[in-house]
Amino acid sequence: MPSDPDELHSWVLRKARDLPPEGLTDDLPLLAGRHLTSLHIPELILLLERLRRRPIDVEQLCAGDFRDLATIRARFLHAEPGELA
Amino acid sequence: MTGHRPPGLRWSDLGHAAFSGPLRELAHACDEAFRGMAARWSADAEDHAAVVAAADLAPIGYLRSFPHLATFATALDPEGDNLSAFAADPSDARTGAVRLTGLAATTGVLTPAACYHVYIQHRGEEFTGPRYITTQNTCFRRESHYQPLRRQHSFRMREIVCLGTREEVTAFLDENRRLTTRLLTALGLPDDWVAATDPFFDPAHHPGYLAQKLQPTKHEARYGDLAVASVNLHEDHFGSAYHMRRDGRAVSSGCIAFGIERWLFALVDRWGTEHTGWPDPRDALAEVLA
Protein backbone atom coordinates (compact mmCIF):
# COMPACT_ATOMS: atom_id res chain seq x y z
CA MET A 1 0.00 0.00 0.00
CA PRO A 2 1.70 3.22 -1.14
CA SER A 3 0.51 5.30 1.80
CA ASP A 4 1.15 6.03 5.40
CA PRO A 5 -2.02 6.61 7.39
CA ASP A 6 0.03 7.55 10.45
CA GLU A 7 1.53 10.43 8.51
CA LEU A 8 -1.99 11.61 7.75
CA HIS A 9 -2.92 11.35 11.43
CA SER A 10 0.22 13.24 12.44
CA TRP A 11 -0.41 15.99 9.91
CA VAL A 12 -3.99 16.53 11.07
CA LEU A 13 -2.87 16.46 14.69
CA ARG A 14 -0.38 19.24 13.99
CA LYS A 15 -2.87 21.40 12.11
CA ALA A 16 -6.16 20.81 13.92
CA ARG A 17 -7.41 23.35 16.42
CA ASP A 18 -9.74 23.03 19.39
CA LEU A 19 -9.54 19.26 19.61
CA PRO A 20 -11.99 17.70 22.08
CA PRO A 21 -10.76 16.07 25.32
CA GLU A 22 -10.85 12.64 23.69
CA GLY A 23 -8.38 13.91 21.10
CA LEU A 24 -8.19 13.22 17.39
CA THR A 25 -10.35 10.19 16.75
CA ASP A 26 -11.02 8.57 13.40
CA ASP A 27 -14.61 9.81 13.38
CA LEU A 28 -13.99 13.38 14.53
CA PRO A 29 -15.70 15.72 12.01
CA LEU A 30 -12.75 17.74 10.76
CA LEU A 31 -14.39 20.43 8.63
CA ALA A 32 -17.87 20.49 10.15
CA GLY A 33 -16.26 20.74 13.58
CA ARG A 34 -14.01 23.57 12.35
CA HIS A 35 -10.93 21.65 13.48
CA LEU A 36 -9.58 22.15 9.96
CA THR A 37 -10.51 25.15 7.81
CA SER A 38 -10.46 25.93 4.13
CA LEU A 39 -6.88 27.14 4.42
CA HIS A 40 -5.73 23.61 5.30
CA ILE A 41 -7.33 21.92 2.33
CA PRO A 42 -4.77 22.58 -0.45
CA GLU A 43 -1.94 21.33 1.79
CA LEU A 44 -3.97 18.28 2.77
CA ILE A 45 -4.60 17.49 -0.89
CA LEU A 46 -0.86 17.74 -1.59
CA LEU A 47 -0.15 15.41 1.33
CA LEU A 48 -2.68 12.85 0.09
CA GLU A 49 -1.31 13.04 -3.43
CA ARG A 50 2.16 12.33 -2.08
CA LEU A 51 0.99 9.47 0.10
CA ARG A 52 -0.96 7.75 -2.63
CA ARG A 53 1.46 8.75 -5.39
CA ARG A 54 -1.34 9.82 -7.65
CA PRO A 55 -2.99 13.16 -8.29
CA ILE A 56 -6.45 14.08 -7.02
CA ASP A 57 -8.87 15.63 -9.47
CA VAL A 58 -10.36 18.39 -7.36
CA GLU A 59 -13.36 18.67 -9.66
CA GLN A 60 -14.29 15.16 -8.57
CA LEU A 61 -14.25 16.01 -4.87
CA CYS A 62 -17.61 15.58 -3.20
CA ALA A 63 -19.27 16.76 -0.03
CA GLY A 64 -18.11 14.58 2.83
CA ASP A 65 -14.89 13.33 1.21
CA PHE A 66 -12.83 14.95 3.99
CA ARG A 67 -15.39 14.37 6.72
CA ASP A 68 -13.02 12.57 9.11
CA LEU A 69 -9.82 10.54 9.14
CA ALA A 70 -11.61 7.27 8.46
CA THR A 71 -13.37 8.71 5.42
CA ILE A 72 -10.20 10.29 4.05
CA ARG A 73 -8.32 7.02 4.35
CA ALA A 74 -11.12 5.05 2.73
CA ARG A 75 -11.62 7.52 -0.10
CA PHE A 76 -8.04 8.42 -0.92
CA LEU A 77 -5.58 5.96 0.60
CA HIS A 78 -7.22 2.56 0.71
CA ALA A 79 -9.34 2.55 -2.42
CA GLU A 80 -8.28 1.10 -5.74
CA PRO A 81 -7.27 3.65 -8.38
CA GLY A 82 -10.55 3.31 -10.25
CA GLU A 83 -12.51 4.04 -7.09
CA LEU A 84 -10.69 7.19 -6.17
CA ALA A 85 -12.20 10.61 -6.50
CA MET B 1 -39.02 34.54 -20.07
CA THR B 2 -40.45 33.44 -23.37
CA GLY B 3 -39.00 36.17 -25.51
CA HIS B 4 -41.26 38.94 -24.20
CA ARG B 5 -39.97 41.63 -21.93
CA PRO B 6 -42.42 43.02 -19.42
CA PRO B 7 -43.60 46.61 -19.86
CA GLY B 8 -41.61 48.95 -17.67
CA LEU B 9 -38.26 47.25 -18.25
CA ARG B 10 -35.62 49.37 -19.95
CA TRP B 11 -32.56 47.31 -20.70
CA SER B 12 -29.03 48.38 -21.49
CA ASP B 13 -26.86 45.85 -23.27
CA LEU B 14 -24.12 46.92 -20.88
CA GLY B 15 -25.97 44.80 -18.33
CA HIS B 16 -28.15 47.30 -16.49
CA ALA B 17 -31.91 47.41 -16.04
CA ALA B 18 -34.26 50.27 -15.22
CA PHE B 19 -37.84 49.83 -14.04
CA SER B 20 -40.98 51.89 -14.19
CA GLY B 21 -44.69 51.36 -13.71
CA PRO B 22 -46.01 48.03 -12.43
CA LEU B 23 -42.66 46.28 -12.84
CA ARG B 24 -41.04 48.82 -10.53
CA GLU B 25 -43.90 48.29 -8.08
CA LEU B 26 -43.33 44.55 -8.21
CA ALA B 27 -39.62 45.05 -7.50
CA HIS B 28 -40.50 47.17 -4.47
CA ALA B 29 -43.09 44.63 -3.34
CA CYS B 30 -40.48 41.87 -3.50
CA ASP B 31 -38.11 43.93 -1.42
CA GLU B 32 -40.86 44.73 1.07
CA ALA B 33 -41.54 41.01 1.44
CA PHE B 34 -37.85 40.35 2.11
CA ARG B 35 -37.80 43.17 4.62
CA GLY B 36 -40.82 41.56 6.23
CA MET B 37 -38.74 38.44 6.66
CA ALA B 38 -35.98 40.56 8.19
CA ALA B 39 -38.53 42.05 10.59
CA ARG B 40 -39.10 38.55 11.99
CA TRP B 41 -35.58 38.88 13.37
CA SER B 42 -36.00 42.51 14.43
CA ALA B 43 -33.12 43.14 12.06
CA ASP B 44 -31.57 46.59 12.12
CA ALA B 45 -31.65 48.26 8.71
CA GLU B 46 -28.49 49.77 7.29
CA ASP B 47 -27.91 51.76 4.10
CA HIS B 48 -24.44 51.73 2.63
CA ALA B 49 -22.55 53.44 -0.16
CA ALA B 50 -22.29 52.12 -3.69
CA VAL B 51 -18.52 51.91 -3.39
CA VAL B 52 -16.42 49.94 -0.94
CA ALA B 53 -12.76 50.75 -0.31
CA ALA B 54 -10.46 48.14 -1.79
CA ALA B 55 -8.46 48.31 1.42
CA ASP B 56 -11.55 47.27 3.36
CA LEU B 57 -11.92 44.17 1.18
CA ALA B 58 -8.28 43.17 1.69
CA PRO B 59 -8.86 41.23 4.94
CA ILE B 60 -11.09 38.76 3.09
CA GLY B 61 -8.94 38.66 -0.05
CA TYR B 62 -11.86 39.57 -2.29
CA LEU B 63 -9.76 40.86 -5.15
CA ARG B 64 -7.56 37.75 -5.07
CA SER B 65 -10.59 35.46 -5.03
CA PHE B 66 -12.84 37.26 -7.51
CA PRO B 67 -10.74 39.55 -9.73
CA HIS B 68 -12.81 38.59 -12.76
CA LEU B 69 -16.00 39.91 -11.15
CA ALA B 70 -14.69 43.20 -9.82
CA THR B 71 -15.63 46.58 -11.22
CA PHE B 72 -13.55 49.51 -10.05
CA ALA B 73 -14.44 53.11 -9.35
CA THR B 74 -11.82 54.88 -11.40
CA ALA B 75 -11.09 58.50 -12.20
CA LEU B 76 -8.72 60.37 -14.43
CA ASP B 77 -5.45 61.62 -13.11
CA PRO B 78 -5.85 65.42 -12.91
CA GLU B 79 -2.13 66.07 -13.12
CA GLY B 80 -0.40 67.70 -16.08
CA ASP B 81 -2.27 67.74 -19.39
CA ASN B 82 -3.97 64.38 -18.77
CA LEU B 83 -7.49 65.84 -18.55
CA SER B 84 -7.00 67.93 -21.68
CA ALA B 85 -5.71 64.93 -23.56
CA PHE B 86 -8.72 62.91 -22.50
CA ALA B 87 -11.25 65.66 -23.23
CA ALA B 88 -9.90 66.11 -26.75
CA ASP B 89 -11.12 62.65 -27.79
CA PRO B 90 -12.98 61.02 -24.88
CA SER B 91 -14.77 58.13 -26.53
CA ASP B 92 -15.15 55.97 -29.58
CA ALA B 93 -18.41 56.95 -31.27
CA ARG B 94 -18.79 53.53 -32.86
CA THR B 95 -18.21 51.26 -29.86
CA GLY B 96 -19.04 53.70 -27.09
CA ALA B 97 -15.78 52.75 -25.35
CA VAL B 98 -14.15 55.52 -23.36
CA ARG B 99 -10.54 56.24 -24.32
CA LEU B 100 -9.04 56.49 -20.87
CA THR B 101 -5.81 58.36 -20.52
CA GLY B 102 -3.87 58.32 -17.23
CA LEU B 103 -5.82 57.10 -14.22
CA ALA B 104 -5.61 58.37 -10.68
CA ALA B 105 -4.90 55.77 -8.02
CA THR B 106 -7.88 53.42 -7.91
CA THR B 107 -8.98 52.74 -4.35
CA GLY B 108 -12.66 51.93 -4.70
CA VAL B 109 -14.59 48.87 -5.82
CA LEU B 110 -18.23 49.03 -6.82
CA THR B 111 -20.16 47.00 -4.26
CA PRO B 112 -19.83 43.30 -5.14
CA ALA B 113 -22.21 42.02 -2.44
CA ALA B 114 -24.50 44.01 -0.19
CA CYS B 115 -23.48 42.25 3.02
CA TYR B 116 -19.76 43.08 2.76
CA HIS B 117 -20.54 46.56 4.03
CA VAL B 118 -22.10 45.09 7.15
CA TYR B 119 -18.95 43.26 8.21
CA ILE B 120 -16.85 46.32 7.50
CA GLN B 121 -19.31 48.52 9.43
CA HIS B 122 -19.08 46.30 12.51
CA ARG B 123 -15.34 45.70 12.34
CA GLY B 124 -13.74 45.39 15.76
CA GLU B 125 -17.02 45.14 17.68
CA GLU B 126 -17.56 42.92 20.70
CA PHE B 127 -21.00 41.33 20.73
CA THR B 128 -22.96 40.17 23.75
CA GLY B 129 -25.75 38.50 21.77
CA PRO B 130 -26.81 37.77 18.20
CA ARG B 131 -27.12 40.72 15.82
CA TYR B 132 -29.46 40.72 12.85
CA ILE B 133 -28.98 43.32 10.13
CA THR B 134 -30.61 43.90 6.78
CA THR B 135 -29.34 45.98 3.92
CA GLN B 136 -29.97 46.46 0.24
CA ASN B 137 -27.56 47.71 -2.35
CA THR B 138 -26.94 47.83 -6.06
CA CYS B 139 -24.23 45.26 -6.67
CA PHE B 140 -21.83 44.97 -9.57
CA ARG B 141 -20.39 41.80 -11.06
CA ARG B 142 -18.54 41.71 -14.32
CA GLU B 143 -19.67 38.80 -16.51
CA SER B 144 -18.90 37.59 -20.02
CA HIS B 145 -22.44 38.26 -21.16
CA TYR B 146 -25.62 39.75 -19.78
CA GLN B 147 -29.31 38.92 -19.97
CA PRO B 148 -32.12 41.13 -18.68
CA LEU B 149 -33.29 40.18 -15.19
CA ARG B 150 -31.16 37.01 -15.27
CA ARG B 151 -27.51 38.03 -15.43
CA GLN B 152 -26.73 41.69 -15.04
CA HIS B 153 -23.64 43.80 -14.49
CA SER B 154 -25.55 45.79 -11.90
CA PHE B 155 -28.40 44.34 -9.89
CA ARG B 156 -30.28 44.91 -6.66
CA MET B 157 -29.58 42.61 -3.75
CA ARG B 158 -31.41 42.45 -0.41
CA GLU B 159 -29.62 40.62 2.36
CA ILE B 160 -30.36 39.64 5.94
CA VAL B 161 -27.26 38.95 8.01
CA CYS B 162 -26.78 37.21 11.35
CA LEU B 163 -23.67 37.75 13.47
CA GLY B 164 -23.59 35.33 16.38
CA THR B 165 -22.61 31.92 17.59
CA ARG B 166 -22.52 29.08 15.09
CA GLU B 167 -25.73 27.69 16.59
CA GLU B 168 -27.51 31.05 16.32
CA VAL B 169 -26.38 31.48 12.72
CA THR B 170 -27.38 28.00 11.60
CA ALA B 171 -30.80 28.39 13.27
CA PHE B 172 -31.19 31.74 11.46
CA LEU B 173 -30.30 30.20 8.11
CA ASP B 174 -32.53 27.16 8.60
CA GLU B 175 -35.52 29.30 9.50
CA ASN B 176 -34.98 31.71 6.60
CA ARG B 177 -34.61 28.83 4.20
CA ARG B 178 -37.89 27.43 5.49
CA LEU B 179 -39.63 30.80 5.13
CA THR B 180 -38.22 31.34 1.64
CA THR B 181 -39.38 27.90 0.56
CA ARG B 182 -42.89 28.70 1.75
CA LEU B 183 -42.77 32.14 0.10
CA LEU B 184 -41.78 30.59 -3.22
CA THR B 185 -44.62 28.10 -2.91
CA ALA B 186 -47.11 30.84 -2.06
CA LEU B 187 -46.02 32.67 -5.21
CA GLY B 188 -46.48 29.59 -7.35
CA LEU B 189 -42.73 29.19 -7.90
CA PRO B 190 -40.67 26.01 -7.50
CA ASP B 191 -38.75 25.53 -4.28
CA ASP B 192 -35.68 23.67 -5.50
CA TRP B 193 -32.62 24.12 -3.29
CA VAL B 194 -29.19 22.96 -4.38
CA ALA B 195 -25.71 23.09 -2.85
CA ALA B 196 -23.58 25.62 -4.74
CA THR B 197 -20.14 27.16 -4.82
CA ASP B 198 -19.12 30.78 -5.26
CA PRO B 199 -17.54 31.62 -8.64
CA PHE B 200 -13.93 31.75 -7.47
CA PHE B 201 -11.09 32.69 -9.80
CA ASP B 202 -8.89 29.68 -10.56
CA PRO B 203 -11.19 27.53 -8.42
CA ALA B 204 -9.11 24.34 -8.55
CA HIS B 205 -6.47 26.09 -6.49
CA HIS B 206 -8.69 28.16 -4.25
CA PRO B 207 -9.14 26.96 -0.66
CA GLY B 208 -12.56 28.54 -0.45
CA TYR B 209 -13.83 26.71 -3.51
CA LEU B 210 -12.41 23.39 -2.32
CA ALA B 211 -13.96 23.91 1.11
CA GLN B 212 -17.37 24.66 -0.41
CA LYS B 213 -17.21 21.45 -2.44
CA LEU B 214 -16.15 19.35 0.54
CA GLN B 215 -18.38 21.00 3.15
CA PRO B 216 -21.23 22.81 1.39
CA THR B 217 -22.00 26.09 3.09
CA LYS B 218 -23.93 27.74 0.28
CA HIS B 219 -27.36 26.63 -0.88
CA GLU B 220 -29.32 28.29 -3.62
CA ALA B 221 -33.04 28.37 -4.33
CA ARG B 222 -33.32 28.00 -8.08
CA TYR B 223 -35.93 28.84 -10.64
CA GLY B 224 -34.80 26.51 -13.40
CA ASP B 225 -31.07 27.15 -13.64
CA LEU B 226 -31.36 30.58 -12.04
CA ALA B 227 -30.48 31.21 -8.38
CA VAL B 228 -33.07 33.57 -6.89
CA ALA B 229 -31.87 33.33 -3.29
CA SER B 230 -28.97 31.84 -1.40
CA VAL B 231 -28.31 30.96 2.22
CA ASN B 232 -24.67 31.17 3.17
CA LEU B 233 -22.87 29.97 6.29
CA HIS B 234 -19.57 31.84 6.53
CA GLU B 235 -18.40 30.17 9.73
CA ASP B 236 -15.95 32.67 11.32
CA HIS B 237 -14.52 33.87 7.99
CA PHE B 238 -15.78 37.44 8.39
CA GLY B 239 -15.64 37.41 12.18
CA SER B 240 -11.93 36.62 12.08
CA ALA B 241 -11.12 38.94 9.20
CA TYR B 242 -12.86 41.94 10.74
CA HIS B 243 -12.17 41.17 14.40
CA MET B 244 -15.80 40.83 15.46
CA ARG B 245 -15.90 38.86 18.69
CA ARG B 246 -18.31 37.21 21.07
CA ASP B 247 -17.25 35.66 24.38
CA GLY B 248 -13.62 35.85 23.38
CA ARG B 249 -14.04 34.13 19.99
CA ALA B 250 -14.55 35.36 16.46
CA VAL B 251 -18.27 35.50 15.68
CA SER B 252 -19.83 33.26 13.09
CA SER B 253 -21.91 34.83 10.39
CA GLY B 254 -24.43 33.86 7.80
CA CYS B 255 -26.67 35.61 5.35
CA ILE B 256 -29.60 35.09 3.09
CA ALA B 257 -29.44 37.03 -0.15
CA PHE B 258 -32.21 37.79 -2.61
CA GLY B 259 -31.56 38.98 -6.15
CA ILE B 260 -34.47 41.33 -6.85
CA GLU B 261 -34.23 41.18 -10.65
CA ARG B 262 -34.21 37.40 -10.60
CA TRP B 263 -37.41 37.31 -8.57
CA LEU B 264 -38.91 39.60 -11.21
CA PHE B 265 -37.74 37.21 -13.90
CA ALA B 266 -39.25 34.21 -12.13
CA LEU B 267 -42.56 35.94 -11.43
CA VAL B 268 -42.95 37.33 -14.94
CA ASP B 269 -41.89 34.04 -16.49
CA ARG B 270 -44.39 32.16 -14.32
CA TRP B 271 -47.30 34.57 -14.45
CA GLY B 272 -46.81 36.41 -17.74
CA THR B 273 -45.95 39.96 -18.71
CA GLU B 274 -49.40 41.36 -17.93
CA HIS B 275 -49.16 42.87 -14.48
CA THR B 276 -52.76 42.14 -13.54
CA GLY B 277 -51.81 38.48 -13.29
CA TRP B 278 -48.92 38.98 -10.92
CA PRO B 279 -49.22 37.86 -7.29
CA ASP B 280 -48.25 40.32 -4.58
CA PRO B 281 -45.14 39.08 -2.70
CA ARG B 282 -46.23 41.03 0.40
CA ASP B 283 -49.51 39.13 0.51
CA ALA B 284 -47.63 35.89 -0.07
CA LEU B 285 -45.32 36.60 2.88
CA ALA B 286 -48.29 37.49 5.07
CA GLU B 287 -49.79 34.12 4.15
CA VAL B 288 -46.51 32.42 5.05
CA LEU B 289 -46.25 34.18 8.38
CA ALA B 290 -49.92 33.74 9.32
Q: State the complex-level ipTM.
A: 0.83
Q: Across the interface, do B214 and A58 touch by the CB < 8 Å criterion?
A: no
| pLDDT score at A2 | 43
pLDDT given at position B204: 87
Would you state the pLDDT for residue B253? 98
The pLDDT value recorded for residue B88 is 96
Report the alpha-carbon angle A72-A73-A76, nearest 5.
75
Instruction: Answer whether A61 sits within 8 Å of B205, measured CB to CB.
Output: no
The DSSP annotation for B114-175 comes to TTHHHHHHTTT-EESS-EEEEEEEEEE---S--BTTTB-SEEEEEEEEEEE-HHHHHHHHHH
Say what the pLDDT of residue B173 is.
Answer: 98
Average pLDDT of span B166-177: 97
Beta-carbon separation of B210 and A45 below 8 A: yes
Question: Can you give the residue ranges of every domain in chain A?
Answer: 5-83
Residues of A with a Cβ under 8 Å from any B Cβ are 31-32, 34, 37-42, 45, 58-59, 61-66
Question: Using a CB-CB distance cutoff of 8 angstroms, which residues of chain B are in contact with residue A63?
Answer: 195, 213-216
Question: Which residue would you say has higher pLDDT here, B3 or B12?
Answer: B12
DSSP secondary structure string, chain A?
Answer: ----HHHHHHHHHHH--S--TT-S-TT--TTTTTSS-GGGHHHHHHHHHHHHTS---GGG--TTTTSSHHHHIIIIISS-GGG--
Mean per-residue pLDDT, B75-102: 96
What architecture is domain B9-50+112-289? Answer: 2-Layer Sandwich (3.30)
Averaged pLDDT, B135-153:
97
Q: What is the mean pLDDT of residues B205-217?
A: 92
Q: Alpha-carbon distance B286 to B290, whole Å? A: 6
For B165-182, what is the mean pLDDT?
Answer: 98
pLDDT given at position B1: 55
Q: What is the pLDDT of residue A5?
A: 55
What pLDDT score does A85 carry? Answer: 40
Per-residue pLDDT for B86 more than 90?
Answer: yes
The CATH class, in words, for A5-83 is: mainly alpha
pLDDT-flagged residues of chain A (< 70): 1-5, 79-85
The residue with greater pLDDT, B71 or A33, is: B71
Closest chain A residue to B206, measured at CA: A42
